[in-house]
Amino acid sequence: MAAARGLFRHCPLLLPQDRRGTAYEGFVTAQGRDFHIRILLPVDFQLKNARIECSWRLKKILHGYRHTLKQRLHSCPDLVSFMVELKTVLEIALKNTQDLHIPRPPEYYSCLVRDLEILGWNKVAYVDTGLTTVRLKAEDSCGRQHLITLKFNAKYPTEPPDCLVDFPVPFAVSWMPQNSLIDIYNQFLAALESLKEFWDALDEIDGKTWVLEPENPTRSATTRRIAIGNNVSVNVEVDPRHPNMLPECYFLGADHAVNPLRTKLNNNMHLWDPEISLLQNLRELLEIDFPSRAVLEKSDFAKDCGICYAYRLDGMAPDQVCDDPRCGQPFHQACLYEWLQGLPTSRQSFNVIFGECPYCNK
């Protein structure tokens, strides 16, 4: 009886459907809204084996919280505790999706449609059916295509929309209640131009060298792993705010191959010229010509791991190379670490493990 009173206190609209107390049906209330629910308990009243049925609307709201609710079913001692947990999760879920349920005033739609008409429908790439998400397209001065996604809340234009862009730096909108979509669009265009030199530098690298990683770089990606030779590459991280300055460079490959490159970079740092392109600077400082895309194929540099026989493992290319000049076999770090851990002859010092090459035993 105490359990029944506790359940009635927390969920007065959820009523028992049988004498044994194994079936309950009714409504759970959160944020002033009622949602239909039915709970079926096994004869031993173990919550972990309970079955929960609910309306499609509640199921949709809780879709992303199914794992959490399953954990609660396993950990809660009784139905009352679970219903308290369920209501808490439901409150959080509703708060995260409340914009989808708040009816928007007519002024919201008239204002948004007017702004889109003034901006021009030719700049619109996508609009959802509820007029809550709009994607705009723009072209920078070099002809690159860019998108900005705007997610509106019901208080627009008093509050600005959330803006999602593929930028390497944060994009913050300056907004006043009297502003419109045109102001956001103009700020978007200005931001594109401020990043022009950064994208110019990376586009030249993408177009004139063999980039091993990332495979399909986004506009927000600031790093490029550039092939230099067989199992030798340099990872370059470019500062998007200062793209003409010397980037961070990390060489990957066998010591006998990368040590001379490190020495050249250190000795020639003073020659860096911000007036010429980043790629040309790298050529002159390292005193090399990067392998040409016109002459060689990516497969000439993209060697498979000597352990798993694949090039990509969880999206990563092989980045460890045997130091023996006669071997030079590349491996994924994860594969090599697991291999060396299994060898009785390997030794480990802190987070570094030492052992024989799986290929040449050096």
Q: What is the CATH number of the domain that holds 350?
A: 3.30.40.10
Which residues 6+ apart lie within 8 Å of 66 measured at CB?
A: none
pTM of the model: 0.62
Same domain, 33 and 4: yes
Q: What is the mean pLDDT of the chain?
A: 85
For helices 278-286 and 196-208, what crossing angle results, to 10°?
A: 50
Same domain, 113 and 94: no
Hey, what amino acid is at 7?
L
Q: Give the separation between CA 362 and CA 358, rounded to whole angstroms.
A: 8
Same domain, 246 and 333: no
Last residue of a domain, one of 282, 302, 322: 302
Quick one: pLDDT at residue 279?
95
2 confidence band (pLDDT: 50, 70, 90): very low
Same domain, 112 and 25: no
Torsion of CA 326, 330, 333, 338, to 10 degrees: -70
The total number of structural domains in the chain stands at 4
Range among 192-201, 225-234, 347-356 rated most confident: 192-201
Same domain, 221 and 294: yes
297-331 per-position pLDDT tens digit: 666 666 777 777 777 777 677 878 887 777 778 88
Within 10 A of 240 (CB to CB), how many other CB atoms are there? 17
Within 10 A of 150 (CB to CB), how many other CB atoms are there? 22
Q: Is residue 199 part of a domain?
A: no
Q: Give the separation between CA 280 and CA 120, rounded to whole angstroms.
A: 41
The residue among 359 and 275 whose pLDDT is bigger is: 275
Quick one: pLDDT at residue 154?
81
- HSE-CB of 329 using CA atoms within 13 angstroms: 17
Last residue of a domain, one of 302, 334, 350: 302
Q: Give the separation between CA 111 and CA 157, rounded to whole angstroms.
A: 8
Q: Is residue 198 part of a domain?
A: no
| Residue 121 scores a pLDDT above 60 | yes
Backbone angles phi, psi at 164, to 5 degrees: -115, 120
Last residue of a domain, one of 71, 99, 127: 99
Q: Give residue 297's domain range.
A: 209-302
- The alpha carbons of the chain give a radius of gyration, in whole angstroms, of 30
